[in-house]
Amino acid sequence: MRTLILICVLIANITQAETLRIGSRNVVVYSPKLLSGKAAPLVIALHGGLGNARQFRFFLNLKQQADRYGFRVVYPQGTLAQAAWAPNGRVWNAGTCCGTAMQQRVDDVGFLKSVVAQFKAQGLVSQSVAVGHSNGAMMALRAACDAPNLFQRVVAIAGPLLLKTCKRQYKLSVVHLHGANDRNVPIEGGVGPEGVLQLNFPAVQMSANILEAAGAQVSIEVITATHFLGSINRGLRTELSLSLTEFVAKRITQ
């Protein structure tokens, strides 16, 4: 109980980037000074498979957009993947993917619920949003389906829903952003020729159909890009005149 109170006090007083311990994991939180303990959108940013919170924070670079639009960003860590060639690579249990987290049946949905709950307990959340890349996108969608009302918006980048059913949604908006040339998680589904795990992924449209059948509003945005964030960023700049950072900020605040 004392530990919980201490965590809540720390959260309430965050005004810049801080690392907090929630459960058995670290999360990095960025909170603009202008918020000063006020309720605001809470953005949970989920790294891709074999990535980590530090890398995803660097690629997304949401600090300026958070200051501009007034939202907090939380970067949680997945489970250590135990891959020799990716010593700090981490993964999420998104259902049928990925790696150690799936094999050990890690309760990542429960973990994300606890992260959101810590901020809600302080009255700091006006709405909760998830943005994820690849395995992180799959995790965001799984959490949204398994725990309705956990998130009101999801931006899923290069990752479909892996569940075959989704619990009834009452207020969920989903944006699927996918590269037409993705050879890791193909937009049309199947085994990606460059996929690390060689899994048979569902098509993005099938993912959208399951979400819509549950009551979610879904839009699919396709650009000329591969699976990787750098390519996605270039595709967005070329076709929409937006960086990946700007795209995410607009979709989570519109």
- For residues 38-55, give the mean pLDDT: 95
Pairing of strands 190-191, 200-201: antiparallel
pLDDT at 168: 96
Q: What is the C-alpha separation between 156 and 141, in angstroms, rounded?
A: 7
Per-residue tokens: 111: 């973990």
Q: What is the C-alpha separation between 42 and 74, in angstroms, rounded?
A: 7
pLDDT at 11: 54
pLDDT at 103: 94
Q: At residue 8, does pLDDT exceed 80? A: no
Domain interval for residue 236: 2-252
Average pLDDT for the chain: 92
Q: What is the C-alpha separation between 44 and 115, in angstroms, rounded?
A: 9
Domain count within the chain: 1
Length of the chain: 254
pLDDT at 226: 98
**pLDDT-based confidence at 13, cuts 50/70/90?**
low
- For residues 141-163, give the mean pLDDT: 97
- For residues 6-14, give the mean pLDDT: 47
Q: At residue 6, does pLDDT exceed 50? A: no
Q: At residue 246, does pLDDT exceed 80? A: yes
Q: What is the C-alpha separation between 27 and 135, in angstroms, rounded?
A: 18
**Residues 6 or more apart from 133 whose CB is under 8 A from it?**
46, 47, 48, 51, 56, 59, 157, 158, 159, 229
pLDDT tens sequence across 86-125: 778 899 999 999 999 999 999 999 999 999 999 999 999 9
CB of 240 within 8 A of CB of 222? no
pLDDT at 23: 84
Q: At residue 82, does pLDDT exceed 90? A: no
Q: At residue 132, does pLDDT exceed 50? A: yes
Identify the CATH number of the domain in which residue 221 sits: 3.40.50.1820
- For residues 186-193, give the mean pLDDT: 96
pLDDT at 68: 94
Q: At residue 163, does pLDDT exceed 50? A: yes
Q: At residue 75, does pLDDT exceed 70? A: yes
